[in-house]
Amino acid sequence: MSYFFLVIGLGMGGMALNMTYKRITFLLRTRKTYGRVVGWEERPGFVAGHRVLSVTYYFPEVAFEASDGVERRVTSPAGWESTARQSIGDRVGVRYDPRNPDDARVDAIVHLWSPPAAFLLIAGAALFAFIHARH
């Protein structure tokens, strides 16, 4: 059973390294600019708790101008149950690839680094369990 934790830990660690590599290469090949919130993409969702409720999540749509002078839009990966966190016209950082300006993301540390950090945390916990299961 302890080798199960080793496999999970190494697999998750490998995935964390892969995600980190992809994010670093994205940062190295992209340029930072600023855009403005121009609208909201609405997506249905639900909240599980004592009961299930139907909710709508709002994801900010950001318009930015790339170095080629063309305006493009990107939708934030984070959405909320309210539009109160950001307003139309708010300034938002955007990173885009100058060779392919359609490859763009809202520039937020939490969106960029949360996934690899979560996988690294799971990998660490699994490796910790492996080490302690062997004693």
pLDDT averaged per 10 residues, the chain (length 135): 88 95 94 96 74 78 95 90 83 95 91 90 93 81
Predicted local confidence at residue 43, as pLDDT: 86
Report the pLDDT value the prediction gives residue 2, as an integer from 0 to 100.
82
Contacts 24+ apart (CB under 8 A), 108-117: 108/76, 108/78, 110/78, 111/76, 111/77, 111/78, 112/23, 112/27, 113/23, 115/19, 116/16, 116/17, 116/19, 116/20, 116/23, 117/16
- What is the model's pLDDT at position 45? 76
Could you list the beta-strand ranges (E) of the chain.
Answer: 31-47, 53-65, 71-75, 91-97, 100-106
Q: State CA 89 to chain mean position distance.
A: 22
